[in-house]
Amino acid sequence: MFPPAIAPYLDVGAYLLDARAPASTLYLDKLLVGKELLLLTRSAQADARATKRWHAYFRAAGYPCFVVDSLKATGFDGVLDYLAGLLRQKQELASRRGMQNPVLRMAALGVPNVGKSTFLNQLIGRHRFKTGDKPGITRGYQWVRLFNDVEVLDTAGVLRDPRLLNRRKACWMLLNLLVYDAALREETVELLRVSLPEPAWRKLQAYYHIPPEHFARGDWLELLESVARRRGRGVDSDEEVDRTARQLLRDFQRGRFGRVTIEYAGESPVTSPLFATPDHGPLTADGV
Ligand SMILES: Nc1nc2c(ncn2[C@@H]2O[C@H](COP(=O)(O)OP(=O)(O)OP(=O)(O)O)[C@@H](O)[C@H]2O)c(=O)[nH]1
Ligand SMILES: [Mg+2]
């Protein structure tokens, strides 16, 4: 979150969305309307065709949008060109008004652990912002100069609207945007189960050495049983269920089952209240 007093000085609100679940990770800020830049990040972990559709969907809705992966350093040329274009516009406007040396200011925004600091580090080409694989690494906010005339602001992940958040918790936990919570394990493992495409199932089966006769896609607990059995364990106690669920989620998050997209453009509604869809105009907070 950034202090509201900064908003008028920001030219770009760069929203980092997880390419695997863009609908659940987009929360537009009312202080930055018209300054949005959407970045579909972690794209190397998402299904490439699904990400392409999201990209087209956001472009059709009128938002500048780029597909990036901050660890693989892909997609950054497009972002830099876009920022250079904005800077030129700002310089032209400033010179018409007799002002000199304007600075373009951009804030990286998005849910905890989505990859804001990693994106900025890659953009800057140096490790200036602290990163880590659990939510809540960045505290407060921090400015860094990208070039002489571009400054970027790193912010802490925001959990703002509890009503929207409650419906997204399982998705966030699946993507490691929320720390493991036993109360959400059933919903989260079930979401993983129904989201895995056939090739990912085959990878999962091979990864845990699950023989076909043991392999059941039946329900979330059967899936955990199959995973636990590989280690000669069961899921007879709460602790064992938790241990196995954590392991399964961790393996998914490390990409052991390949590229998996959880939400598809046109199927999962974006519920951020300020978002305007291509067809329906602004949505209400309930996404209807
Ligand atoms: N594969 C992949 N991993 C990424 C990418 N971006 C970030 N990560 C990983 O995601 C984790 C979180 O990254 P951060 O940059 O710390 O996330 P953040 O949004 O700044 O998190 P907070 O400051 O806690 O809100 C780290 O382990 C990163 O290595 C990406 O594009 N691809
Ligand atoms: Mg951070």
Model confidence pLDDT, tens digit, residues 192-214: 999 999 999 999 999 998 877 76
CA of 120 to the centre of ligand 2 (A): 9
Which of 113, 115, 132, 108 has its CA nearest to residue 38?
108
CA of 259 to the centre of ligand 1 (A): 17
CA of 86 to the centre of ligand 1 (A): 26
In this structure, which ligand is nearest to the CA of 136? 1
* Whole-number Å distance between alpha carbons of 25 and 40: 10
In this structure, which ligand is nearest to the CA of 110? 1
Which atom of ligand 1 lies closest to the CA of 110? 19
Mean pLDDT score, 222-234: 86
Choosing from 113, 176, 253 the residue with most ligand 1 atoms within 8 A of its CB, the one to mutate for a pocket test is: 113
Question: pLDDT over 90 for what percent of the chain?
Answer: 66
CA of 270 to the centre of ligand 1 (A): 22
* Whole-number Å distance between alpha carbons of 69 and 76: 8
- What the chain holds in terms of domains, given with CATH numbers, is 4-164 (3.40.50.300), 176-253 (no CATH)
* Whole-number Å distance between alpha carbons of 178 and 32: 25
DSSP the chain: ---GGGGGG-SEEEEEEETT-TTTT----GGGTT-EEEEEE-GGGS-HHHHHHHHHHHHHTT--EEE-BTTTTBSHHHHHHHHHHHHHHHHHHHHHTT-----EEEEEE-STTSSHHHHHHHHHTS--S---SSS----SEEEEEEETTEEEEEE------HHHHHHHHHHHHHTTSS---GGGHHHHHHHHHHH--HHHHHHHHHHTT--GGG---SSHHHHHHHHHHTTT----SHHHHHHHHHHHHHHHHTTTT----S--TTTS----TT-EETTTEEPPTT--
Q: Do residues 110 and 38 lie in contact, with contact meaning Cβ atoms separated by under 8 Å?
A: no
Which atom of ligand 1 lies closest to the CA of 138? 23
CA of 211 to the centre of ligand 2 (A): 41
* Whole-number Å distance between alpha carbons of 215 and 209: 10
Distances (CA, A) of 274 to 93, 98, 165: 28, 35, 16
Pocket residues: Cβ below 6 A from ligand 1: 41-42, 44-45, 69-71, 110, 112-118, 131-133, 135-138, 156-157
Confidence of residue 282 (pLDDT cuts 50, 70, 90): very low
As residues whose CB is below 5 A from the ion ligand 2, the structure lists 116-117, 137-138
Closest protein CA for atom 14 of ligand 1: 115
Predicted pLDDT at 283:
41
Residues 6+ apart with CB under 8 A from 132: none
Model confidence pLDDT, tens digit, residues 28-75: 998 999 999 999 999 999 999 999 999 999 999 999 999 999 999 999
Closest protein CA for atom 8 of ligand 1: 115
Which atom of ligand 1 lies closest to the CA of 114? 19
Q: pTM of the predicted model, to two decimals?
A: 0.92
Model confidence pLDDT, tens digit, residues 75-84: 999 999 999 9
Which atom of ligand 1 lies closest to the CA of 16? 19
